[in-house]
Amino acid sequence: MTMDSILLNGSGTADAVRYPLDPLSGAEIEAAATIVKESEFVSDTVKFVMIQLAEPDKTATLTFADAADVPRRAFITMYDPAAKMVYEAVVDIGARTVDSWTPIPGRFPSYLVEHMTGVEEVVRADPQWQEAMRKRGVTDFDLAMIDPWPAGYYGAQDHYENSPLICRPLTFMRAAPSEHGYARPVEGLIVTFDLDAMAVLEIEDHGVVPLPPKAGNYTARYMFDEDNRPAFTQFRDDVKTIEITQPDGPSFTVDGWKVQWQKWSLRVGFNPREGLTLHEVTYTDRGTVRPVMYRAALSEMVVPYGDTSPTHWNKNVFDMGEVGMGFSANPLTLGCDCLGEIFYFDGTVHDSDGNAVVIPNAICMHEEDYGISWKHTDFRTGEVEVRRSRRLVISMICTVGNYEYGFFWYLYNDASIEMEVKLSGVLTTGSIPEGELPRWGKLVAPGIYGPNHQHFFNFRLDMTVDGPNNSVYEVDSIPEPDPGLNPHHNAWIAKDTLVASEAHGARDWNWSTGRYWKVVNPSKVNELGSPVGYKLMPRDPVPVMVQEGSYIYDRARFVQHNLWVTKYDPAEKFAAGDYMYQSADAQGLPEYIADDAPLENTDIVLWYTVGAHHIVCPEDWPVMPCHYTGFKMKPVGFFDGNPALDLPPSPPKACHSH
């Protein structure tokens, strides 16, 4: 890494003036690490887990008038494997002081960077592991892929005083150095690994299952076999080129990390744990800047598996809290991940020694045409008015082992906001003897199956609808309750129920009533006298298959309800708590609502959980087409009419016919 790259912030601009919510630059990350290293608190064995911005307190105006008055601070999580202790520190970078130092006993950190590659090397050299592989007919150990799966939680033995930080690696075999390793999972072989000592603790072998016979290759290099015959398919020859052009350039402007697009204004953020974050999201309405959200980000995710076989039953990875979405972010490639006039933000993370690491093009931003925004044809006069919808796309894509997760924030020119999660990559696979059918999964190829599993993503939405004090209502559509007012049995009403306090803040979707939730500002009304608001619209809710009595039930309590509503607390950022690794404690949202804080006309936070219910099929193999899930925020009474009414017509040259 060059000094130039360290001295630039994530958007590629110099560090002269930093807005208080801008991510830490590489220079700031390294300065914060140095300040800690030179302090009286650390030993030589301390490793840096997360170094990120210590965000300043929210102000009454929901913005910062003078950035120079706000000190730049770093929040640092560290782990000392010798002491088996997590530490938290807040560092004032400008003053070069450690403002606070807090030991966190009884907790485990997320992965350190070196764990991802170091585990594989150590396991591959282990004699017991090698003997288990020989039983399966494997002698070329260099072709083994060993994924360091987070440990999950097996019981009390995984969480006790002086317990090591552990993981449970799983093994897969390539048939050639660059082949698709997940096509040959080694079933029944489980390693327990001490990440503190970087040593194998135990090998469990539950019996030999033959490796699947077929390759699962999908890349162009395997398009043809050695006899020049198509190996799996041929590229289509009838796909014509599509080019996205904006001759006048994009409609957005970028100043550091601040983005303005049409009537929207926001700030982009990035950190090692959450990855992409949004801040100070506002909409300008007839010259007035109106706040909508103060902060929005992924809060946690978990992938529970529904297979009770030895290799799979304990899989319940919290990919954000146990690994880190920022650490997992891809460097995106022009012309592939995004199309059009693109602006990229670099993401800056670090290694365990506190050295800055730049992920180039970690965040992609571009515009997309999104079909018709509105249209009407006056059939009497023949007059037609139509406007096209456009959206601003801000996205990142993360690779965590076998899976890819794309997180796409969409801002629409009708003032709607959408979050879409795109799931792709490769299934987690298991081997099964030929001729047998899996009970807790589905075959995708001979001898290989994908276990039943789910993905849950919780998003934390710090709402500021037209100001800092909001209320939340649950809205149900129900038949007219008064028979006297419903003589034709066709009337129905929308019933609003106030979510008055945190004791009632855990809410569930109801298909039979078309339920949604709306956030309103009781002190601001539209021209019709109704409180201004935004509504949260569910998209494809899924049933939760996590069962009471399982370890994952306690660790991932946030999946038990679609929506949680809490009063704003800057210390409450993660749906499953700060440290869920190797823990059975019910952390996070159940703790946050325990004090039953009042929620009416106050600073509130929505925590919304979306899910993907995955019963696999052969079409998901060898690499999975994108599966989509998410939610949408739509203005409801926020404006006095259609906010997209002022969209200009598309010029005739924008449309072509043949």
Query: Both tokens of residue 324?
Result: 């880190």
- Give Cα separations from 627 to 216, 237, 338, 422, 528 (angstroms): 20, 26, 17, 6, 41
Query: Both tokens of residue 396?
Result: 């990142």
Active-site option among 403, 405, 553, 581: 403
Render 441-496 in DSSP notation, one character per residue. EEEEETTEEEE-EEEEEEEEEEE-TTSS-BEEEEEEEEE-S-GGG-TTS--EEEEE
- Strands, E assignment, 226-330: 252-255, 258-261, 264-271, 275-285, 288-304, 316-317
Tokens 């739509």: give the residue: 634
Q: Is 44 a catalytic residue?
A: no
Beta strands 144-147; 604-614: pairing state: unpaired
Q: What angle do CA 191, 197, 199 make, to 5 degrees?
A: 30
Contact by Cβ (8 Å): 297, 459: yes
Rounded-to-integer distance, Cα 164 and Cα 19, Å: 40
Report the DSSP beta bridge partners of residue 471: 520
Rounded-to-integer distance, Cα 403 and Cα 624, Å: 9
Contact by Cβ (8 Å): 611, 630: no
Active-site option among 319, 414, 462, 554: 319
What amino acid occupies position 538? P
Residue whose C-alpha is closest to residue 463's, from 326, 563, 345, 368:
563
* Coil, helix or strand at residue 103: strand
Consecutive H or E run containing 592:
helix 589-592
Q: Is the peptide bond before 247 cis (omega within 30 degrees of 0)?
A: no
Neighbours of 574 (CB within 10 A): 25
116-122 contacts, C-beta under 8 A, 24 or more apart? 116/148, 118/198, 119/146, 119/148, 119/167, 119/169, 119/193, 119/195, 119/198, 120/144, 120/145, 120/146, 120/147, 120/148, 120/169, 122/193, 122/198, 122/199, 122/200
Query: Both tokens of residue 237?
Result: 């020859």
* Coil, helix or strand at residue 37: helix
Rounded-to-integer distance, Cα 427 and Cα 183, Å: 9
Residue whose C-alpha is closest to residue 135's, from 215, 191, 209:
209
DSSP 76: E
With the CA atoms of 463, 466, 467 and 472 taken in that order, what torsion angle do they form, in degrees rounded to the nearest 10? Answer: -50
* Coil, helix or strand at residue 513: helix
What amino acid occupies position 381? T
Is residue 53 classed exposed, middle or buried when 0-12, 13-18 and 19+ CB atoms within 10 A define those classes? buried
Phi, psi (deg, nearest 5) at residue 390? -135, 150
Give the contacts of 381 (CB within 8 A, at least 6 positions apart): none
Q: Is 255 a catalytic residue?
A: no
Give the contacts of 34 (CB within 8 A, at least 6 positions apart): 354
Contact by Cβ (8 Å): 283, 292: yes
The set of catalytic residues is 319, 403
